[in-house]
Structure 1
């Protein structure tokens, strides 16, 4: 057994953990320590199930097992199972009735770190919260301490789940190749692999992970060329002749393999930008991995991303507003409401309008009132802003068709609700006047001009509202060739010319 302190995590791993940028990528080697089968064992047990169901003869089963390439055997066996209607007990195949103690200890150590987990495994070992949940035998129940059911982690396993915001969910488990609980999600066959890695969502997820996070591979040999492809593509230093090691691979070796280990170090560094971290298995075998994490855990301070970290991620989504990035941004701010103002204030592109509208950011319940603050000199008034309206100001001149109609409806809804409730926020009126002044004229109705009277007639100074309407909207109406726009102009002049009550008089 290796003494604690023999192993120490690389400083880059420690820094990534502190900034919420550490992803632990778990492979089949970790599951094998619990007693789960390797690819060969998995394939053979599926073939056994077909043989027991009478769908394969002894000879057929023997020859199917002897194909040589275990994934090929598994692909054929699962296809036959589907064709013959044989239900495969994936739970029983992947999970022994009682996991090996060394595997339980490894997953306990991993669980205590609470990073984001990504795995190509189908099994359950990462999905359940603590090591006590790995065993199928429940603890004894007592009156003082009743048995609790398993506590599940957040688990993602479908392609539509593979969005970059999941990488900010500390403790979440992302099954890159699906899960045994939903057999149709499992990526097994050659066709599955090709379709899976050709999917834009999978590509965007892997690109984000390898470009902007530090990935630690545990029990994973980096055998999938598709994964290697994204590692290489995400590391720009590899094209400049100076390989920057941005990710890390825990690598089991024997002392007699020192030369081979050096070759592997050079290969992964030069070709992939991955640093190999060797650990010797001479004494204890592959369970030495547990000793690594016993030594590492006190050194790894895994934290949630800070607000600044989240803002940096939002900046990336805003800079490249693809459908996936927009969805990731919306989910991120909905989970962290403190980011809403920063996020919306950073938006300038019309492409975000439908996302914000669907999420309800323009709804009337967000309409701010005016706060009265008592001072020695009497009451003062504080009017809060509304970032969503500022966004509408920026895009109003660029919307058209149904979007322009919808923006006009939002303006009407906010104004109508405020009038009904007696809300008089001059900052809101100023924003609404700016939006109305920039909208396409064809969506502005006579009733909208009448609506401006309420904005202009409030108890507070309305100069900015009048300036927007008089200097921006009025010239556009007068320059129009449509007679009804001239009528709107006359109505607007009348509204701008109306007598107002003195400021402060109710």
Structure 2
């Protein structure tokens, strides 16, 4: 075997290493945070799914093609997308430009542009591996929320016969049910969904509106305290204003939490700096490889490892197992090797505790 081949195999083996603290999590103890990287992997033919910037660029292009914006405005917005760092402001101005001058967002041409951008999503699903992995985890109790505007996961899940449901923060009752684990196949879109443009969070006032309900804020923040978030395809999620408002800057003692983020390792120095920085937020950064093409397979393998874990509720353990074989052997030695006497069956304490101090699953 030549050195180049050995190096490749070593790299592949290294990329398949998983943190024990992650793969030993029960699926029900995880919450998947899905970003644009998932949609980009699933439907690479739709540029708008690749990033927030790409989405705005696609809307501007659709507005130009549909002739719902003056050519001068189209040119101006294209410049803003390239130059402006605050894309939220650009999106706000773009929406207002295509809306009536009454302060009301309905009706507007923005919705038509979104429908053009995300038209026939189901026909663009090319690589469903990541979606299949997510559904496997959802079947076992993993919750899912996303910053994405698309419903690719719901579309694919329905194709597999799952009762998928799209939720947004403005439907309080549904959010509370979801947070309690009562909607197994619910996907919470914290920015809203493209099919309901009026519920999309695209401007500063929208961010303020969805964080004003203390009950919703409390249940969501409790999830951040009690679940392990697994960030998939979330390149800039931690910079997102609504994510910061809901979780990052409102939950105390974050360093005591244990969340995980899968990232592309393009530059080693930047990667290890990100690792160190994110530990301060209770987030363990893990590399899925140095190529985006590695992402789907890594997620699939990771899901397989997690799903191997047996649920404590499903384990039926008898008293022999609780004592362990070494204890049984000791009992036999104490009684002698005659085989005439038999050790008495050990009794468990009345409080349901094992003799070794481990709580017996109820």
**TM-score normalized with structure 2 length:** 0.67
Residue 134 of structure 2, aligned match among 110, 129, 134:
110
* Aligned twin of 1:273: 282
Match of 1:101 among 126, 141, 166: 126
1:245–1:275 Cα contact (<8 Å) kept: no
Deviations along 1:63-97, whole A, 9 cap, x unmatched? 11211344333222222223273242434413556
The answer to whether 1:123 aligns with 2:147 is no
Give the 5 Å matches for 1:210-289: 210-221=224-235, 222-228=238-244, 230-231=247-248, 233-236=250-253, 243-254=255-266, 257-270=267-280, 272-281=281-290, 285-289=291-295
The equivalent position to 2:168 in structure 1, one of 157, 163, 174, is 157
Q: Is 1:74 paired with 2:91?
A: yes
Q: Following TM superposition, by how much is the alpha carbon of 1:248 offset from its aligned partner in structure 2, in angstroms?
A: 0.6
Q: Residue 23 of structure 1: CA displacement?
A: 0.5
The residue correspondences of 1:451-462 to structure 2 (distance < 5 A) are none
Structure 2 segments unaligned to the other structure (5+ residues): 1-7, 101-106, 315-362
- Residues 9 and 296 in structure 1, CA contact (< 8 A), matched pair in contact too: yes
For residue 26 of structure 2, what is the aligned residue in structure 1?
A: 17
1:18-68 Cα shifts (integer Å, max 9, x gaps): 5x2210110111112223412223212322343344442222111112113
Q: Does 1:7 align with 2:24?
A: no
Greater helix percent: which structure?
1
Give 1:202-217 correspondences, 5 Å limit.
Answer: 202-217=216-231
Say which SS state the counterpart of residue 118 (structure 1) adopts: strand
Tell me the CA shift for residue 5 of structure 1: 8.2
* Count of residue pairs brought into register by the alignment: 278
- Equivalent pair of 2:146/2:187 in contact (CA under 8 Å): yes
Q: Deviations over 1:391-442 (max 9, x none)?
A: xxxxxxxxxxxxxxxxxxxxxxxxxxxxxxxxxxxxxxxxxxxxxxxxxxxx
2:191 matched to 1:177? yes
1:9 Cα deviation from its structure 2 partner: 3.9
TM-score, normalised relative to structure 1: 0.49
Instruction: In structure 1, list runs of 5 or more residues that go unmatched.
Output: 134-149, 308-506
Superposition RMSD in Å: 3.0
Per the TM alignment, residue 220 of structure 1 is displaced from its structure 2 partner at its CA by 0.8
When Rg is computed on C-alpha atoms for both structures, the one with the higher figure is: 1
Partner of residue 191, structure 1: 205
Which residue is equivalent to 1:88? 112
Pairwise CA distance, 1:225: 4.3
